[in-house]
Copies of this chain bind each other. A is one copy, B any other.
Amino acid sequence: MQKPVLLITLTVLSLLSAAQTEDEKFIRKIFDEALTSGKAFEVLEYMCTNIGPRLSGSPGAAAAVEYTRQVMQHYGFDSVWLQPIMVPHWVRGKPETGRIVNSKKLGMQPVNVCALGGSVGTGPAGVLAGVVEVRSWDELKKLGEQGRVKGKIVFFNRPMDPRVLQTFSAYGTAVDQRANGASEAAKFGAVAALVRSMSPNPEDYPHTGSLRYALNVPKIPAAAIATNHADLLSRLLADDPNLQFYLEMHCETLPDAPSFNVVGELRGSENPKNYIVVGGHLDSWDLGQGAHDDGAGCVQSIEALRILRSLGYKPRHTLRAVMFMNEENGLRGGLEYARAAAERKEVHIAAIESDRGGFVPRGFTVPTTAAAKAKVQSWKPLLEPYGVHDFSTEGGGADISPLAPQGVPLLGLLPDSQRYFSYHHTPEDTIDKVDRRELALGAAAMAAMVYLIDRYGLK
């Protein structure tokens, strides 16, 4: 009775190990292709250098739509198409002015600020007012109820905690100030909001990013201030609570503009109506070149499919590289993609996002459901030789999040996070901050994950 069981076991084991070896070999080919003939860096370099910033509604965003469409067409993907959407159209206008004024110690001191995305402007006369510094919502409430916020600029100065190893976690515990600060301050009669830039580092340049105005609350101007200048302002305020701040911003929101998601496909040979999506977002902030955020994720998504195609891989399911538009200030692309998918009854087997920068890959964020998560984690031995070893965090990314209600397992590329917030939403997010090998390894890791999901599913 033992023998047949043993035989079956041995057969199963040897089949499994043959598959393992075949997978190992194919994944090796994927990485070899990315490291010897990879195109991700050149595509990103073109996008950063020749197109530059790509804020939703800008000519740069339109150029990036057309450029990535052409790249995927040129690679010979089975179909490349545009998915029309309307996007918010916010413009920064003339550079902002920020000054500490009437400080006892320094008199007038210019500081580096930038408008938060979506903010109203100050008007040409600017805003001149006293400053109230807060580090928590409780503090704001207390001061507000004491009438000490009215007519003032509220300065949100809770830092991104540098001690937190995963910088995205530290970001998550500070970004509420940027998102909600303006409206929360306005509820107590503030005339403007200044928010400490989202960075754990001492820096002279500010970080932009979107805010959300609450309904039925006056919209007040809101700016980010460089961390070094936030520290300066805080020190000066401690000495001299009566100093004033001058803020001038010329930003405004124009009518919504037409734009697109860009989709490239490799058609599935067995289940063409089942989809695996890899994507990043094509829009960027207007400062810098959007190299890491998220040009990297876009070119890696295209590259993942290019690699599989160039290796002659015939996918079972249809593979899609999606350049989502408008992640930064609206998520219109992600929402429309999910809406249209539901309407067409498309079955999505998985969606993988790369929106954490083009740094050396260390793992993947994994689906929240037990079975899919276990499946992804079981592939760790296949990816560990490439430094991809961390499969502990759950979740996907913003653009693919609207697919969650359809039960789509969501994953994300997890690159090393240490450098990300040195560049995020700043003029420093440029192509010279991207390393060719790190970018290529991320693209290869995504291609390998697509291959494994295509072959084995996530059930």
CA of A386 to CA of B32, assembled, Å: 30
Which residues of A line the B interface, CB within 8 A?
31-32, 35-36, 162-163, 165, 167, 200-201, 360, 362, 385-387, 389, 416, 418-419, 422, 435-438, 441
- Bound together, the chains give a CA A162 to CA B33 distance in angstroms of 10
Given A362-B387, A422-B435, 7 further pairs, Cβ under 8 A: A35-B200, A36-B162, A36-B163, A162-B437, A165-B386, A418-B441, A419-B438
* Chain B residue at minimum C-beta to C-beta distance from A385: B165
Q: Nearest-CB distance from A433 to chain B (Å)?
A: 9
Interface pairs (13), CB distance under 8 Å: A35-B163, A36-B163, A167-B437, A200-B437, A360-B360, A360-B416, A389-B389, A418-B435, A418-B441, A419-B435, A419-B438, A422-B435, A422-B437
Q: What is the bound-complex CA distance between A82 and B283, given in angstroms?
A: 55
Instruction: Return the contact of A436 from the options B163, B165, B201 (Cβ within 8 A).
Output: B201
- Report how far A389 CA is from B31 CA in the complex, Å: 22
Separation of A210 and B36 alpha carbons in the complex (Å): 27
- Which B residues are CB-close (under 8 A) to A362? 387
Tell me the nearest residue of chain B to A32, going by C-beta: B163
In the assembled complex, the CB of A208 is this many whole angstroms from the nearest CB of chain B, namely 21
Q: How far is the CA of A203 from the CA of B441 in the complex (A)?
A: 19
Asked whether A360 lies within 8 Å of B441 as measured between CB atoms, the reply is no
Chain B nearest CB from A205 CB (Å) reads: 14
Q: With the chains together, A386 CA to B362 CA distance in Å? A: 13
Q: A201-B437, A436-B201, A437-B201 given as contacts; is B419 within 8 A of A35 (CB)?
A: no
Contacts of A167 in B (CB 8 A): 437
Q: Tell me the nearest residue of chain B to A201, going by C-beta.
A: B436
Closest residue to A165 on the B side, CB-wise?
B386
Q: In whole Å, how far is A356's beta carbon from the nearest beta carbon of chain B?
A: 14
Closest residue of B by beta carbon distance from A38: B162
Query: Which B residues are CB-close (under 8 A) to A386?
Result: 165
Q: Which B residues lie within 8 Å of A31 (CB)?
A: 163, 165
Question: A387 to chain B: which residues have CB within 8 Å?
Answer: 165, 362, 416
Query: Roughly how many angstroms separate A385 CA and B438 CA in the complex, as a whole number?
Result: 22
In the bound complex, CA of A50 to CA of B36 (Å)? 38
CA separation between A361 and B435, bound complex, in Å?
17
The distance from the CB of A28 to the nearest CB of chain B, in whole angstroms, is: 9
Candidate in A167, A360, A437, A438 with the most chain B CB atoms within 10 angstroms: A437
Q: Which residue of B lies closest to A421 (CB)?
A: B437
Contacting residues, chain B, for A360 (C-beta < 8 A): 360, 416, 418
Q: How far is the CA of A441 from the CA of B419 in the complex (A)?
A: 12
Q: Which residues of B contact A441 (CB under 8 A)?
A: 418
Residues of B within 8 Å of A419, CB to CB, are 435, 437-438
Contact partners of A418 in chain B: CB under 8 A:
360, 435, 437-438, 441
| B residues near A438, Cβ cutoff 8 Å | 418-419
